[in-house]
Amino acid sequence: MIDTTATGDVQGRLIAVEGVDGSGKSTQMDLLHKWLRGLGCRVFFSEWNSSPLVAEATKKGKRRLLLTPTTFCLIHATDFADRYERQILPMLKAGYIVLCDRYVYTSFARDRARGCDPEWLREIYGFARPPEITFWFHVPVETALTRLTKSRKEPNYFEAGMDLGLSLDVREGFRIFQGRITENYAEMVDEFSLVQVDATLPIPHQQQIVRRVVQDRLDLNAFPSRIEHVVHDQYGIAPPVFEEDLMDAEGEW
Amino acid sequence: MVSHRTYKHVIPGIDMEELGGLLIVIEGPDSSGRSTQIWLLSRWLEQLGFAVEQMGLKRSKLVANELEKAKEGNVLSPRTMALFYATDFYDQLENRIVPALRAGSVVLADRYVYTLMARDMIRGAHADWLKPLYSMAVVPDAVYLLDTSAENILDRTLSSRGKLDYWESGMDLGLARDWYESFTRYQENLRLQFEQIMTDYPLERIHGDRPILEIHEDLKSRIERILPTLTELHRSPPI
């Protein structure tokens, strides 16, 4: 905590993706991740709400529906702080490109939709450095809902904002709640220079846009991987197991 | 007139207008005599006919176990720890304190945000970040800081527990390798942090190096001054 380095210089670069559930952001992040590895870059991937330390409390809170908007926000902030200080920041200092599937803007959009004060949220997360690039995958709520229901049957309790009692119907709840979140994202486009991507475009088109922005803004030669993997083939998928994969999978860093 | 407000930001979903009751906080380091005084006060208040609710740090259903586990492993960074404690605090605020106040009870809090802030500040957190973190806390009707000398605290700790506590000795800070030395420095540090906190928040200092009953009488006379009548406390009209 001593040095929060929200603004201090680091060698690494931070890229985040944001968007409602079902926007396709994780797919795009995954493709970007593989592409960067294929280029031989040092990359590290971190996902929202994934710290093993906090996971148990979050799970319990969600299962027993103990969470209020405030504790929902704070428990995610705890998770974020843990990951930020133990992986994101050290990785940035070590000169990695750090990819974050969701960043503080998720809280700004979502917790605000739950009734938390936007100013308060910005203060709580004041220690987090702004990413060099943040993509916002914008999709109409109805499309997101269709995508979600294609993969599993119903949106989950919290995605649908059921804790707020917006509607008795999960789908209707999803529409209202994710609609609010979308409005909040839209409001942040200027404030945080979010790069808005039309998430209704075909997946490869979106990925093309993403890669172009990354290429334009970062010098991709500046992050050479120091770990020698088995030779990457031209599609960047040759080595069966990456060290980072192991770290992600086991949650040990 | 009994009414409450938060320090700055509002708690989502809670109507402050509904809150009655009384929120009284006893602050002070471990072994400063807090629990004894709270016990005495709650007996006294119950004798007077008030419903009393006791509340302490790290007692919430939500994260208490996880916090304990994380502390054992000593793996949380100060900021993560601060946020974890804040989560726990708000869980108790929303699920215990607020309902108790809504019901018109007297809430006796065994420490409050001030101890949390002091601990975090010692570990490098800035007040600029901590103040907003706790800005949704309900402003207590009174906060009494038991100001007990370090020697007395040390004496009581050793005689009651037979050993020093890792965290209350600030061993995580690397102040000294010697526990006794670390404890003394940590307590001194804590005192300084409280001094700083008192420039922002009005805490009443209670001289803690006195006999138990003398302190109790002191607290009673202070509380009597802010104690509303029963009708004021239970604002909802009788059926």
HEC states along chain A? CCCCCCCCCCCCEEEEEECCCCCCHHHHHHHHHHHHHHCCECEEEEECCCCHHHHHHHHHHHHCCCCCHHHHHHHHHHHHHHHHHHHHHHHHHCCCEEEEECCHHHHHHHHHHCCCCHHHHHHHCCCCCCCCEEEEEECCHHHHHHHHHHHCCCCCCCCCCHHHCCCCCHHHHHHHHHHHHHHHHHHHHHHCCCEEEECCCCHHHHHHHHHHHHHHHCCHHHCECCCCCCCCCCCCCCCCCCHHHHHHHHCCC
For chain B, percent of residues with pLDDT exceeding 70: 89
Cβ-nearest to B62 among A57, A77, A82: A57
Chain B residues in contact with A120 (beta carbon < 8 A): 9, 132, 135-136
With 50 as the cut, is the pLDDT of residue B169 above it? Answer: yes
- Greater confidence (B32 vs A138) lies with A138
Scan for tokens 């409001």, then name that residue. A187
Residue of B7, B84, B129 to mutate when probing chain A, most A C-beta within 10 A: B84
With 60 as the cut, is the pLDDT of residue A79 above it? Answer: yes
Who's near B32: CB < 8 A, 6+ residues apart? B146, B147, B148, B153, B208
Give the closest-approach CA distance of B80 to chain A in angstroms.
5
Contact criterion met (CB < 8 Å) for B133 and A81:
no
Q: Is residue B66 less than 8 Å (CB to CB) from chain A?
A: yes
Where residue A241 falls among pLDDT bands split at 50, 70, 90? Answer: very low
ipTM of model? 0.72
Chain B residue nearest residue A73, CA to CA: B87
- Mean pLDDT in chain A? 85
Sheet hosting strand A13-18, strand order edge to edge: A43-47, A97-101, A13-18, A133-138, A195-198
Cβ B6 vs Cβ B113: under 8 Å: no
With 70 as the cut, is the pLDDT of residue B1 above it? Answer: no
Determine the pLDDT at residue A64: 66
For chain B, percent of residues with pLDDT exceeding 90: 46
Among A58-67, B117-126, B161-170, B197-206, name the one with the lowest average pLDDT. Answer: A58-67
With 90 as the cut, is the pLDDT of residue A55 above it? Answer: no
Q: What is the pTM of this model?
A: 0.80
* Segment 89-118 of chain A within 8 Å of chain B by CB: 114-117
Determine the pLDDT at residue A103: 97
What span, in angstroms and rounded, lies between the C-alpha atoms of B153 and A246?
Answer: 48
With 90 as the cut, is the pLDDT of residue B213 above it? Answer: yes
Chain B residues in contact with A116 (beta carbon < 8 A): 12
- A138-147 per-position pLDDT tens digit: 999 999 998 8
- B3-28 per-position pLDDT tens digit: 799 999 989 988 888 898 999 999 99
- B122-134 per-position pLDDT tens digit: 988 888 999 999 9
Contact criterion met (CB < 8 Å) for A68 and B94:
yes
